Amino acid sequence: MSSFCELCGRKVIDEKKTVLIDGIALNVCRGCSKRGKPYTPPMSISKTKPTASSNPAARATATRSTSTTRKIEMMDNTILNPEFSKLIREARMKKGLTHEQLGAQMNEKANLLKKFETGALKPDELFAKKLQRFLGIHLYVGVLED
C-alpha cells in the first residue's frame, strides 16, 4: 500500500504519520509530521470536544424564543397575590395537612411550602399553579393598569 504525503505530496516510503494541521487530520510523511500536532482518533477524545463554544449561542436563542411564548396560559395583568403566604397556610390547614403531607401529595419539598407560608420565598408560576390546583385556591389576582 503506497501512499503520498497530503502536505508535500511526496511518496511516503517509511511510516506514514497522521497529524493535525489547522484542525484537519492529514496523512503526512515523517518530515511534515513535525509541522502538526499528533493526531488521536475522535473516539479517544472525550474532554476536548469543540461543542462547548457553540452551546451558549444556541442556549441564548432558545431562551429568547421561550420568553416570547411565555404567556401561553397566563392572562395579562395578573400578579401573585401579596397575601399568598396566608392563602397557602389557610388552605392547607383547612385540609388538615402538614407541610410534609402536602409536599408528599404535590411531590414537592415540604421545606419549600414552609418558606412560601412564611413569605420567605415566592412560588414561581409553575409552583403557584400547582398549589392552586392542590389547594383549590386562587393565588393570582388581576391588576388594573389604568
Q: Count of residues binding Zn ion (CB under 5 A)?
A: 6
Q: Does 29 bind Zn ion (CB under 5 A)?
A: yes
Window contacting Zn ion (CB under 5 A); options: 30-38, 60-68, 97-105, 126-134: 30-38
Task: Identify which of residues 9 and 42 has a Cβ nearer to Zn ion in the complex.
Answer: 9
Q: Does 7 bind Zn ion (CB under 5 A)?
A: yes
Cβ proximity of 59 and 67 under 8 Å: no
C-alpha span between 18 and 24 (Å, rounded): 10
Task: Identify which of residues 11 and 47 has a Cβ nearer to Zn ion in the complex.
Answer: 11
Q: Does 32 bind Zn ion (CB under 5 A)?
A: yes
Task: Identify which of residues 28 and 135 has a Cβ nearer to Zn ion in the complex.
Answer: 28
Cell numbers representing residue 46 in the block: 472525550
Enter the DSSP assignment of 42. G
**How many alpha carbons lie under 13 Å from residue 115 in its C-beta half-sphere?**
11
Least Å distance, CB 9 to Zn ion, is 7
Q: Does 5 bind Zn ion (CB under 5 A)?
A: yes
DSSP line for 42-102: GGG--S--TTTTTHHHHHHHHHHHHHHTTTSSSPTTEEE-TTHHHHHHHHHHHTT--HHHH
Among 3, 8, 40, 62, contact with Zn ion (rule: CB under 5 A): 8
How do beta strands 17-21 and 3-4 pair? unpaired
Task: Identify which of residues 16 and 114 has a Cβ nearer to Zn ion in the complex.
Answer: 16
Least Å distance, CB 19 to Zn ion, is 10
Q: Residues interacting with Zn ion, by CB under 5 A?
A: 5, 7-8, 28-29, 32
